[in-house]
Amino acid sequence: MTASPQTSGPAPGATRLVDLFEHGLDAPICLTWELTYACNLSCTHCLSSSGRRDPRELTTQEAKAVIDELEAMQVFYVNIGGGEPTVRADFWELLDYATAHHVGVKFSTNGVRITPEVARRLARNDYVDVQISLDGATAEVNDAVRGAGSHATALRAMRNLADAGMTGFKLSVVCTRHNIPQLDEFKALADRHGAQLRLTRLRPSGRGADVWDELHPRPEQQRQLYDWLVAHGDTVLTGDSFFHLSAYGQALPGLNLCGAGRVVCLIDPVGDVYACPFAIHDEFLAGNVRRPGGFTGVWRESELFRSLREPQTGGACASCAFYDTCKGGCMAAKFFTGLPLDGPDPECVQGHGERLLARRPKDRGHLPKPSGDHSHRTTPARGRGPVDVVLARRPDRDRPPVGDCVEHPLAGMVLPRDGD
């Protein structure tokens, strides 16, 4: 038992951390903040077409006001993503502002900008963490998904970080059926660079649903992944990604709960607040940081967040012996595959999800569609950005693709094992 003096006798009220967190916290533990839609690359797997940053993106002053709020709320850190956040002209300014205000920053990158000089700068700041995305341990597997040369780029970035003396940065892998056989290789790669491996789940968010059908681990691979995670314990981070696998037996390290609106959330470039970075859809839109009350008001008062913090009924899962740890899995995964939110996860290890998926109509017309005007489709403009790069944006914000830009807020965090 960690840090608890309650060894002799039952504690008053709830004692499991998960039970306390289920009702939500006064502030998120951490959150994902997509600073910009702009990107310096045009990754094919990002499924985006060229574009420019949204004119309505938060200004530097507005972004700083959000950071002030996060400081006051004592949010431990933000995961900054995009787009490629470093193409915002004020990226380094915001990064310094956040860390000076005790809000840690973790940012994900394809590595293209991690030069030796940038690496040295990052290594000097204890409150910055970097995450290099790689989806294959070999160029062959990685580049098929992430584009030619991207394996070499990521490895160069890792070498630069290691040479700059940065330790414990993250090698971030989204698990697919093609890279699950490479888990040991990823681990060795991370170890060689003094990095920490983090594995996350491929989620069928938005348009990624189609990619998901072809890429998500096969049932026997899920078992393989689970056994591997159990064997490696705390040395590999998962940020609570795989709690649906807990139904194989022993719970994995982590909170084992859907943190959406309870301990995590997403702020998008125009200031909209969603329950989770994988739940970008009007259904999970809680408010906007520009409204009176700001981010704090959204977090504490939004009807949506309040309802997510209500005790959830297990629905079809309620009678399952593993409900206690599996909790029916990922809300976003269910939503975007068209399954009921109070039933089993599409990747339910008992196969219930698969059976439901098989019963869906053949055409995908029933799946959640982009809604609202979030996509702001405009004619792509070139050369107007703050830096001289080819700017790309996701054409369709309500159904973001599954890619390295999608980041789970808890992914880099070493979570307490429940009951610790």
Tokens representing 299 are: 């977090």
Q: Are 401 and 207 contacting, i.e. CB atoms less than 8 angstroms apart?
A: yes
x-or-dash string of contact with another protein, 54-83, rule CB under 8 A? --------------------x-xx------
* Crossing angle (nearest 10°) for helices 116-124 and 150-163: 50
Which residues in the 5-64 window bind another protein by CB under 8 A? Answer: 5-8, 11, 13-15, 17, 20, 25-27, 29
Q: Give residue 327's region: left, alpha or beta (phi > 0; psi -120 to 50).
A: left
On the CB side of 35, CA atoms within 13 Å amount to 28
| Residue 265 or 317 with smaller CB distance to another protein | 265
Q: Does 379 bind another protein (CB under 8 A)?
A: no
How far apart are the C-alpha atoms of 385 and 55, rounded to whole Å? Answer: 11
Instruction: Output phi, psi for 200, to 5 deg.
Output: -130, 170
Residue 118: name its binding partner from ligand SF4, another protein, none (Cβ under 5 to 8 Å by kind): none
Instruction: Indicate the burial class of 230 (C-beta count within 10 angstroms; 0-12, 13-18, 19 or more).
Output: middle
Q: How far is the CB of 320 from ligand SF4 (least distance, A)?
A: 3
> Residue 320 binds which one of another protein, ligand SF4, none, with CB within 5 to 8 A depending on kind?
ligand SF4
- 317's contact among ligand SF4, another protein, none, with CB below 5 to 8 A by partner kind, is ligand SF4
Residue 6 binds which of ligand SF4, another protein, none (CB < 5-8 A, kind-dependent): another protein
Name which of ligand SF4, another protein, none residue 127 binds, using a CB cut-off of 5 to 8 Å depending on partner kind: another protein
**Residue 344 interaction partner, one of ligand SF4, another protein, none, beta carbon < 5-8 Å per kind:** ligand SF4
Query: Among residues 58 and 245, whose Cβ is nearest to ligand SF4?
Result: 245
Tokens of 388: 């001289």
Question: Least distance from C-beta 275 to ligand SF4, angstroms?
Answer: 7
Q: How far is the CB of 164 from another protein (least distance, A)?
A: 17
Supply 368's token pair. 């959640």
CB of 392 to ligand SF4, least distance (A): 24
CB atoms within 10 A of CB 93: 13
Answer yes or no: are the C-beta atoms of 284 and 299 closer than 8 Å.
Answer: no
Kindly tell me which of 117 and 234 has the beta carbon lying closer to another protein: 234
CA gap 11, 4 in Å, rounded: 10
- Shorter beta-carbon distance to another protein: residue 36 or 196: 196
List interacting residues with ligand SF4 (CB under 6 A).
Answer: 203, 244, 247, 258-260, 264, 276, 278-279, 317, 320, 322-323, 326, 328-332, 344-345, 348-350, 352, 408
Please report whether residue 381 would count as binding another protein according to CB under 8 A.
Answer: no
Q: How far is the CB of 411 from another protein (least distance, A)?
A: 10
Nearer to ligand SF4, 317 or 392 (CB): 317
Nearest to 397 by CA among 270, 215, 290: 270
Contacts of 87 (CB under 8 A, 6+ apart): 36, 38, 39, 40, 53, 385, 386, 387, 389, 391
Partner whose binding site includes residue 60, from another protein, ligand SF4, none (CB under 5 to 8 Å by kind) = none
- DSSP letters spanning 193-226: TT-EEEEEE----TTHHHHHHHHSPPHHHHHHHH
Q: Which is nearer to another protein, 403 or 409 (CB)?
A: 409
* Residues lying near another protein in the complex (CB under 8 A): 1-8, 11, 13-15, 17, 20, 25-27, 29, 74, 76-77, 102, 104, 126-127, 129, 168, 412-416, 420
